Amino acid sequence: MTTSHNRNELPENAHQPHPDHDRGLEFDLSTLMSRRSLGMFLGAGGAAVALAACSPNGSTTAAPSATDATATAASTESASASATASSSATSTPTITRAIAECGVEIPQETAGPYPGDGSNGPNVLEASGVVRQDITSSFGTASAKAVGVPLTFTLTLLDNANGCTPLAGAAVYAWHCDRDGKYSMYDSSLKNENYLRGVQEADANGQVTFTSIFPGAYAGRWPHIHFEVFESMNNATAAGQVLTVSQIALTKAACDDVYATPGYEKSITNMTRTTLQSDNVFGDDGGIYQLATMTGSAATGYAAFNVTI
């Protein structure tokens, strides 16, 4: 069984890729199992996991209109049933497309060595202030603020096992590195900071949107955002049962645009050493089921749309 590391035992260069970094879900189960039941985690007693609002080719384009998405939904029997089941939710382009594309199982992924959820050292989920929409700043007694190109990302939670109805009331914990590729709570210079981490409750459409900054690319990994989905806010803030753990891959076009701006110089080199196909998390399928649809620019900021459950 893997031994969890205490934050005080992490090496001074903890922001560098850990030898066990993102080795896969199976590797992480030993630490997760010490705190969680596998029933919901593997979907045996809960919702199946699906992906929507993503572009298989990773294009940096706007989300389709509600009309286009409805037409797509009509093309398959399951999508049509989903749209009917979700008629009570307010229609938006992202929720309509999510309904249309609901049904594809999203891969379970590792939480990595820097989750901050109590499974590997520090636990931010039980801290007052972690429930928030804007995750750019630290909270509580910490005060640092992450700087970088603005990014908002939206996750759409749908119950694939129940006609793709919105999972209103579910909770999402999201986290990612800063523009230098460092994780708060773990890097030697950020042990007392907790920025770029937060929890939100899904609205009536099953959606959560976080305001953040564009993460950098560090050695060994394609640029990404981590997330865990919980059945309820109570489960999230008590580090309880998890519905799914996965990651969002950011598009190459958006990364190239952002990394050409001041402050992201290290990311340019790291991007040349890793591709979606060689990444040890997204590489098995090139990230096709986790690649976000992205809009915007480095000058104005980016928006990313991704997942359904």
Q: pLDDT tens-digit profile of 216-253?
A: 999 999 999 999 999 999 989 877 788 889 999 999 99
pLDDT score, position 240: 72
Query: What CA–CA distance (Å, rounded) separates 114 from 198?
Result: 14
Give 156-173 pLDDT, tens digit per residue: 998 878 888 899 999 999
pLDDT at 131 over 80: yes
pLDDT score, position 46: 31
Any bridge partners for residue 208, and if so which?
155
Alpha carbon 59 to its chain centroid, in Å, reads: 18
Give 185-205 pLDDT, tens digit per residue: 999 999 999 999 999 999 999
Average pLDDT value over all residues in the chain = 75
Which pLDDT band, with edges at 50, 70 and 90, does 97 fall under? low
Please, what is the Cα angle at 250 between 133 and 76, to 5 degrees?
90
Residues present in the chain in total: 309
User: With contact defined as beta carbons under 8 Å apart, do 244 and 271 qualify?
Assistant: no
pLDDT at 89 over 60: no
36, amino acid identity: R
Range with the poorest average pLDDT among 83-87, 92-96, 158-162, 291-295: 83-87
Q: What radius of gyration, in Å, describes the C-alpha atoms of the chain?
A: 18
Sheet holding 171-175, edge to edge: 197-201, 171-175, 224-230, 242-249
| Contacting residues for 116 by C-beta, under 8 A, at least 6 apart | 122, 123, 124, 125, 175, 183, 184, 185, 186, 194, 197
Query: What CA–CA distance (Å, rounded) separates 121 from 124?
Result: 10
Max Cα–Cα distance, the chain, nearest Å: 55
Give me the mean pLDDT over the 124-142 stretch.
96
State percent of the chain over pLDDT 90: 52
